[in-house]
């Protein structure tokens, strides 16, 4: 089911949770006409300042191998002086996550990503490392799994995870790559209509339509929309609304 749930630690320790957590949740990896991750490089560099090595989780990759994905990400992170170690090289993935200075989760297919994280019993391990202050960077699918569920992903369910419940680091959902554009002669549901369906089934949860080139930064109880575009906020019983970078987003912590 796609009905999200709130863990007890969130109900009893919200203030402490958000004072410690550091998340950079990015809509997409590539803007048209730009190199890979170029639009986010400055924010990633600043966010991971002082960290020389991070664990990279490549499990969302489908059309390329994990080795190829690792090389692609390492090329960009080398420009920032950061070494990545891909989790697929480790026999003891839990130990690697427990010892990580930072956690980076790449995009691709969200269902495969979550399935492999669940298969290795990493959900709680990742959650508690981030709750302990370890910085988390995720783009596209990597941003999806930071939410309570993956039910606002755009991806096809090419594999079946144990459940749709994700890492649950934030209370709201993200729809990455959000667009209101409709192809000519397209008669199917729009992205907004799909999100509306979600809010009807889960009326207590906000959904952030995060446009490409945008990201959400959560850093010690502050939350900010970064980039040049607005984000579209959805909630059952309310009309969708646009928020600009710099506007108050604290309501997403509710």
Marked catalytic residue, from 29, 86, 140, 214: 140
Looking at residue 182, its pLDDT comes to: 76
140 is catalytic: yes
Mean pLDDT of 168-175: 96
Marked catalytic residue, from 4, 155, 202, 214: 155
Q: What is the largest CA-CA distance in the chain?
A: 52
Convert the pLDDT of each residue in 31-61 to its tens digit: 999 999 999 999 999 999 999 999 999 999 9
Lowest mean pLDDT, pick from 49-53, 75-79, 94-98, 177-181: 177-181
Convert the pLDDT of each residue in 197-237 to its tens digit: 999 999 999 999 999 999 999 998 899 999 999 999 999 99
Q: How far apart are CA 157 and CA 123, in angstroms?
A: 19
129, 80 contact by CB (below 8 A)? no
- Sequence-distant (6+) residues with CB within 8 A of 156 are 109, 111
75, 29 contact by CB (below 8 A)? no
Determine the number of helices (DSSP H) and then strands (DSSP E) in the chain: 9, 11
- Sequence-distant (6+) residues with CB within 8 A of 217 are 23, 24, 25, 43, 47, 223, 224, 226
Terminal Cα distance for the chain, rounded: 22
| Token code pair at residue 41 | 């490089």
Q: What are phi and psi of 126, to 5 degrees?
A: -65, -45
Domains of the chain, earliest start first: 20-180+188-253 (3.40.50.880)
pLDDT bin (cut points 50, 70, 90) of residue 159 is: very high
- Radius of gyration for the chain, computed over Cα atoms and rounded to the nearest angstrom: 17
> Is pLDDT of 16 > 60?
no
67 is catalytic: no
> Is pLDDT of 175 > 50?
yes
89, 122 contact by CB (below 8 A)? no
Q: What are phi and psi of 188, to 5 degrees?
A: -85, 180
Marked catalytic residue, from 14, 45, 177, 219: 177
SS3 118: helix
HSE of 201 in the Cβ direction (CA atoms, 13 Å)? 14
Q: How far apart are CA 243 and CA 6, in angstroms?
A: 25
pTM of the predicted protein model: 0.93
Looking at residue 125, its pLDDT comes to: 97
pLDDT bin (cut points 50, 70, 90) of residue 188 is: confident
Looking at residue 6, its pLDDT comes to: 40
78 is catalytic: no
């Amino acid at each position: 089911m796609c009905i999200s749930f709130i863990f007890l630690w969130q109900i009893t320790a919200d203030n402490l949770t958000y004072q410690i957590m550091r998340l950079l949740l990015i809509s997409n990896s590539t803007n048209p006409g730009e190199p890979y991750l170029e639009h986010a490089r400055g924010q990633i560099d600043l966010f991971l300042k002082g960290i020389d090595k991070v664990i990279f989780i490549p499990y969302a990759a489908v059309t390329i191998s994990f080795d190829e994905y690792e090389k692609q990400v390492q090329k960009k992170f080398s420009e920032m002086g950061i070494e990545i170690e891909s989790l697929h090289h480790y026999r003891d993935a839990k130990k690697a996550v427990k010892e990580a200075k930072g956690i980076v989760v790449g995009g691709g297919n969200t269902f495969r990503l979550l399935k492999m994280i669940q298969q290795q019993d990493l959900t709680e391990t990742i959650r508690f490392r981030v709750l302990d202050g370890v910085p988390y960077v995720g783009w596209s699918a990597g941003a999806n799994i930071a939410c309570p569920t993956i039910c606002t992903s755009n991806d096809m369910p090419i594999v079946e995870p144990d459940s749709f419940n994700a890492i649950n680091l934030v209370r709201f959902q993200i729809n990455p790559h959000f667009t209101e554009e409709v192809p000519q002669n397209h008669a199917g549901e729009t992205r907004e209509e799909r999100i509306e369906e979600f809010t009807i089934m889960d009326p207590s949860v906000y959904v952030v339509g995060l446009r490409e080139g945008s990201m959400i930064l959560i850093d010690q109880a502050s939350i900010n929309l970064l980039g040049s575009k607005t984000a579209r906020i959805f909630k059952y019983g309310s009309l969708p609304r646009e928020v600009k970078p710099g506007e108050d987003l604290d309501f997403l912590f509710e």
